[in-house]
Amino acid sequence: MEPVRCTVEIEEGRLAGGTGRYEKRLSDLHGIYADEAAFAALLASGDPVVYAVEDLKPTLGAGDMIFGITRMAPGRVGEEYFVTRGHIHAVANRPEIYYGESGAGLMLLESPDGEIRIVEIGPKTVCYVPPYWIHRSVNVGAEDLVMTFAYPADSGQDYDIIARAGGMRQRIVADGATGWRAVDNAAYRPRDAAEVERVFATAA
């Protein structure tokens, strides 16, 4: 593998020189938001791209790194802000770094046993996601949230850990003014000891 130079194009939310791209539209996020009627109404008016990711994956081997850029659109489903699907790393002791390029967002983090942490992300802000933490990005601003990220190449992603629990333990909603607040997720089901143990057993 040769050294590579990529350029972060902030306004476009692109990684020039990257090799991969995917996007998630609203229809891909069915079941994530609490207000199903608001979700259906918004989807009926179109199927917007909620977020797109461009990255470079040199290899998937241990010791290598994947990096890229995420661009999240502003918006809400009912009172709940647009979010990513969220995940824990399949090899759960792998960390991740996010760097805010533009916009206003949050990283919603949850430990396997349900502790919540919220990290605000703005321009020139670094968010460190430690090993073993589930994490989900949230755009709480009126403009695109653009972040660069990097994580070990052998990390993988486990999205189903969130679905099995009925979502993350808290949701991020508008506070009725110009800010946000975290509220409990009524559908949340705490993980039992066996599932928590399985998370820690994935460490390589």
pLDDT digits (tens, 9 = 90+) for 61-105: 889 999 999 999 999 999 999 999 999 999 999 999 999 999 999
User: Closest Cα partner for 74 from 144, 10, 171?
Assistant: 144
| C-alpha to C-alpha distance for 203 and 19, rounded to whole angstroms | 28
* pLDDT band (50, 70, 90) for residue 140: very high
The string of pLDDT tens digits covering residues 29-51 is 999 999 999 999 999 999 999 99
> 148 - beta bridge partners?
69, 99
